Amino acid sequence: MKYFNITVIALGLIIAIVLFKYEPMYKVSISGEELGYIQNKEAFEESCKKAATSDITKNIDNIDLKEIPEYELKLVDRALKTSEKELAENLKDNVVITYKYYEIALNDRVVNSVNTIEEAEELINSLKEENKEELDLNIIEKYTNNLEEVNTNEIEIAKTESIEKVKEIKAQIAEEERINSMPSINGIKLAYTPISGTITSRYGVSSSIRSSTHTGLDIAAPQGTSIKAVSEGTVTCASYNGAYGNLVKIDHGNGIETWYAHTSKMYVTVGQKVEAGEVIAAVGSTGNSTGPHLHLEIRINGEHVNPQNYLYK
């Protein structure tokens, strides 16, 4: 019994000495790489998340660790200097932050972005009060892991900006509807009429100033009026061409070509790509002409057709 008591005392003394020199801590590793030691796993992971979000004050929806650290409980020399705060700071790149924000859309087109659902609802109510007509406005909840994608505005700024943005979107929609209503030839959309003016000579008519029937449509307009391309394409001619005067030809593909004659100025060159509605020339009276007008021809596979089958109806 005496020897048992001595053994217990000795064992207790050894434990006391060990605990005096060492303390239980968790070794932290990621992918097998030892990073340091901590005392509390849960508190450490929270510290990592706080370190990653210390400069972020809003839009945080969720915080996760990319890779869960491995923990191993060990007795560590108390003389070992450890800093959980420093270790958490070093591991903040191991944190994935999900941000949430709200887009306000008109007919599925983004008007603006705000931080909270309450601000989104306030912005929609403000826009409905501003516009007398019914607007198809809705709120879209957005998530991202990239803070740079969270381009939100404070509510008062969003209100001011959104008034103009709604006008812009409504104009875009109206323009798209106009273009959609325009005719097509062989799949080529004739999106624009080149000029506004008065038709002075129609396709197929005879005249003393021509050697054959009229191959296009004449539209009178003031000298210098801008002429637009009816559709996108490639300029194949931009030069003086006898009776046509200054002539611009555009190849739109699929065998469709448009000619713009008697121009006073040509703003394009051969080989240039032009967009539908782009200004390509100015109304003039060059060549065989009795006054400022545009002679417009539409050609299909090289043959001229009546432009009024498609435009200026």
* CATH architecture, domain 188-309: Distorted Sandwich (2.70)
Pairing of strands 137-144, 184-185: unpaired
Pairing of strands 33-38, 22-30: antiparallel
Number of neighbours of residue 301 by Cβ within 10 angstroms? 10
Over residues 204-214, the mean pLDDT reads 76
Chain segment 150-187, per-residue pLDDT in tens: 999 999 999 999 999 999 999 999 999 999 999 999 99
Tokens 């409504």: give the residue. 170
Q: Where are the domains of the chain?
A: 19-96, 99-181, 188-309
DSSP assignment letter at 69:
P
Chain segment 83-96, per-residue pLDDT in tens: 778 888 888 888 99
139 neighbors 124 (Cβ within 8 angstroms): yes
Angle between helix 117-130 and 155-181 (nearest 10): 60
**pLDDT confidence band for 19 (50 / 70 / 90):** low
Number of neighbours of residue 248 by Cβ within 10 angstroms? 26
Chain segment 258-301, per-residue pLDDT in tens: 999 999 999 999 999 999 999 999 999 999 999 999 999 999 99
Judged against a pLDDT cut of 80, whether residue 209 lies above it is answered with no
Over residues 33-38, the mean pLDDT reads 88
Return d(Cα 308, Cα 313) in angstroms, integer.
Answer: 5
Tokens 């108390």: give the residue. 78
